[in-house]
Amino acid sequence: MSEQQIKVEVAYAKSDIQLILPVELPVGGTARQAVELSGLLTRFPEIDLVTTRMGVFGKAIKPDQVLREKDRVELYRPLIADPKEVRRQRAEAGKVMKKGGGEI
């Protein structure tokens, strides 16, 4: 008798390629197992499951999260710039421009 399986997807995107790969794993399988079974680690050796953040449909999870039927595991790349820092810099630039109204 075969073990009961669930179907999930594993998603990964780079600037030049986006992949959503179907994966079947045993009931009780984890996000880490889904990523390993997807073959992404072979195709993209830069993915490090220790440091790479992941989520299911945009909600952050840990690699040992047990998956449910039709879940989509998403692997997130590091941000190029911190959004909070960019907003702070824009706000500072706006203050400088507003203060210096120019000479009349």
CATH number, domain of 66, equals 3.10.20.30
How remote is the C-alpha of 6 from its chain's centroid? 21
- pTM of the predicted protein model: 0.73
Q: How many domains does the chain have?
A: 1
Share of the chain above pLDDT 70, in %: 88
Q: Is residue 104 part of a domain?
A: no
Is 93 a residue whose pLDDT tops 60?
yes
User: Which domain covers residue 50, as residue numbers?
Assistant: 5-99
Cβ-contact 49, 32 below 8 angstroms: yes
Q: What is the mean pLDDT of residues 1-22?
A: 89
Q: Is residue 85 part of a domain?
A: yes
